[in-house]
Amino acid sequence: MIRVLFVCLGNICRSPMAEGVFAHLVNQADLATTIDVDSAGTSSWHVGEPPHPGTQRVLQQHGIALSSTARQVDQTDLQTADYIVAMDRENVRDLQRLDRHGRLNGKLHLLLDFAPAGGPRDVPDPYYDNNFDAVYRLVDGASRGLLAHIRRERGL
Ligand code: 4NP
């Protein structure tokens, strides 16, 4: 099993959206038994909560089902995930700080590094501006790039 873990700050807006979008693409590619998709937050602020209503709405509008409960990223994640995909550079810094045992080497990525060139590097946080549609477009484009990357790298 190849494990992909999306990480943001709260695990209620961006990373559950990426989890839903990416899992949908994985299903369409008939790879659901090969690629496991999950998400977590660097903070514990929203642990136990469902995705933000804005994330639920935008996924629903695109026909994507998601059941996700917010949780905080832990040491086991750093060990067991094959691809840890952060939404922004603050998440990258927080994950690097958490990585006291050097488990992250080579598996930490920034989602928008897989997006078509010319866009932003960080997924903006819709928690503050409510622009879930713009986030969806960024996440969707980069998720396609990420899946292509994993398929190439793993020969799938
Ligand atoms: P997320 O968004 O990291 O995309 O889930 C946020 C959710 C909550 C907060 C910040 C960002 N907050 O400050 O509580």
Rounded to the nearest angstrom, the gap between the alpha carbon of residue 35 and the centroid of all alpha carbons in its chain is 13
Residue-number span of the structural domain to which 51 is assigned: 2-154
Distance (angstroms) between ligand 1 centre and the Cα of 110 equals 17
**73-132: per-residue pLDDT in tens?**
999 999 999 999 999 999 999 999 999 999 998 999 999 999 999 999 999 999 999 999
- CB-side neighbour CA atoms (13 Å) of 126: 25
The domain spanning residue 142 has which CATH number? 3.40.50.2300
Q: Is residue 86 lining ligand 1, measured as CB closer than 6 Å?
A: no
**Secondary structure element (H or E) that encloses residue 86, with its range:** strand 83-86
- CB crowding 68-80: b at 16 or more within 10 Å, else e: bebbbbeeebbee
Q: How many domains does the chain contain in total?
A: 1
Band of residue 145 on the pLDDT scale cut at 50, 70, 90: very high
Cα gap 83→129, rounded to integer Å: 28
Residue 116 tokens read as 């078509």
**Catalytic (active site) residue 8:** yes
Q: Is residue 12 lining ligand 1, measured as CB closer than 6 Å?
A: yes
State pTM to two decimals: 0.98
Distance (angstroms) between ligand 1 centre and the Cα of 3 equals 23
pLDDT, mean of residues 52-80: 97
The percent of residues in the chain predicted with pLDDT above 70, rounded, is 100
**Catalytic (active site) residue 89:** no
